[in-house]
Amino acid sequence: MGKVRILEIKESVFADNGRQADQLRIRLKEKGVFLMNLMSSPGSGKTTTLKRTIAALKDDLRIGVMEADIDSDVDAQSILETGAKAIQIHTGGMCHLDADMTRQGLLEFGTQDLDLVVLENVGNLVCPAEFDTGACKNAMILSVPEGHDKPLKYPLMFSVCDVVLINKTDVLPYFDFDMEKCRAYIQKRNPKARVIPISAKTGEGFDEWTDWLRRETADWTKGQ
């Protein structure tokens, strides 16, 4: 009886995706386009945060947003109202975007007139963290109502992010959320992650956040 051949699909998929992601970053660098992958749970305030971010940066940067979701175009329509360029990507039921899906979205979107493209990934804390989209930097939003222990429950998400926005600080008095514990848990998972408390409703913390984004975009596009 012959030996059964076992194909490790997951490892193969991740390896192929990693190569495609690296190739995409090379092309983005050549074109002088900074791509940021924004992840979070549903309801964390991604779109509201993006709208305030666009308002703060639109005079300095040419911004586009790719909205990824299983269905609907609600978020893309909301972004269009800001005057920014936007496209909706339907994932066909998949709970994440990978590098090739991102490449296809960018190709259809057109980046020749953009400095910064934000990819608003599908809302969950598991699948999007597993797939490198080819983004230059990863950011995530953790909202206060979700609790300060999320970094312990979803370690991969917090380990792949360059910056963590703790949103909805305006409701801190109403929730049992320990900011210092949350910072410590994030640092345990990812000592290099920058943690920025914000309120998309009031604008608290947005100067630090938009300064970071402006600086990262400038560094990436330098010399182009």
* pLDDT at residue 216 tops 60: yes
Confidence at residue 12, expressed as pLDDT on a 0 to 100 scale? 54
CB 85 within 8 A of CB 136: no
CA 78 to chain centre: 17
One-letter identity of residue 6: I
pLDDT more than 70, % of the chain = 92
* pLDDT at residue 222 tops 90: no
**What predicted TM-score, i.e. pTM, was given to this entire model?**
0.91
Which pLDDT band holds residue 6 (cuts at 50, 70, 90)? very low
Q: By mean pLDDT, which of 4-18, 81-95, 210-224 is the weakest? A: 4-18
224 DSSP β-pair partners: none
Residue spans per domain, the chain = 32-219
Q: What is the pLDDT of residues 164-174, one digit of tens each?
A: 999 999 999 99
Distance CA 35, CA 216 (A): 10
- The three-point CA angle 92-21-126 to 5° equals 55
Structure tokens at 76: 């893309």
Distance CA 119, CA 111 (A): 13
CATH superfamily of 32-219: P-loop containing nucleotide triphosphate hydrolases (3.40.50.300)
